[in-house]
């Protein structure tokens, strides 16, 4: 199953006929068994975004397992994103204070109190996108990762580790503690 296989579901969502609860209950998604955060951020919010679909259309969604992992801040400092959004993370990093202030107040409070994002971004094992690739890639959460990079550069409070949903091939997945 790939993003194009879900086009009729995406059309119903676009028409405003599907709340997230109805979307996630659709039989087409039952086999995925993905966490709600991942379903919402990956498929519900971006599953029909043209450039996003271009970057990830060939992913076999049914082979991806998602785990909540702890990622060192240093590992996020140079992590790439999809080809269509090249440079976007650095755009957000140029003014991290602005990108936090245009979000709900609790987002800014969380950065100040905890030095991290309120909601974990989605990262994907690059070998799922490019068989020769290695490491992780930002799938969704480019603003959050950009804010982190900008805060590091501006020497604002940043935690040493951050939670992120990480998608890996089921064949290469090992159980990780949450």
Residues 35 and 69 in one domain: no
Please give the Cα distance from 60 to 51 (Å, whole number). 17
Please write the tens of the pLDDT for every residue from 2-20.
998 898 888 888 777 788 9
Please report whether residue 124 resides in a domain: yes
Please write the tens of the pLDDT for every residue from 74-112.
999 999 999 999 999 999 999 999 999 999 999 999 999
Cβ contact 160:104 at 8 Å: no
Residue 135's pLDDT is 95
Residue 11 structural domain: 3-48
Residue 50's pLDDT is 86
Residues 122 and 155 in one domain: yes
Averaged pLDDT for residues 29-37:
92
Domain count along the chain: 2
Nearest alpha carbon to residue 75 among 133, 123, 112, 117: 123
Residues 157 and 120 in one domain: yes
Cβ contact 130:124 at 8 Å: no
Nearest alpha carbon to residue 138 among 115, 165, 111: 165
């Amino acid at each position: 199953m790939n993003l194009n296989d879900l086009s009729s579901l995406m059309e119903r969502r676009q028409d405003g006929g599907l709340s997230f609860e109805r979307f996630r209950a659709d039989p087409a998604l039952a086999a995925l068994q993905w966490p709600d955060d991942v379903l919402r951020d990956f498929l519900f919010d971006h599953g029909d975004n043209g450039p996003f679909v271009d970057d990830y259309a060939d992913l076999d969604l049914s082979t991806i397992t998602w785990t909540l992992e702890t990622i060192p801040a240093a590992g996020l400092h140079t992590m790439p994103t999809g080809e269509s959004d090249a440079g976007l993370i650095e755009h957000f990093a140029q003014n991290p204070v602005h990108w936090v202030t245009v979000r709900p107040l609790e987002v800014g409070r969380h950065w100040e109190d905890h030095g991290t994002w309120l909601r974990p971004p989605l990262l994907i094992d690059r070998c799922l996108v490019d068989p020769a690739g290695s490491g992780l890639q930002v799938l969704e959460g480019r603003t959050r990762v950009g804010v982190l990079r900008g805060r590091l550069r501006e020497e604002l409070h940043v935690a040493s580790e951050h939670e992120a949903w990480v998608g890996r091939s089921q064949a290469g997945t090992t159980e990780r503690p949450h």
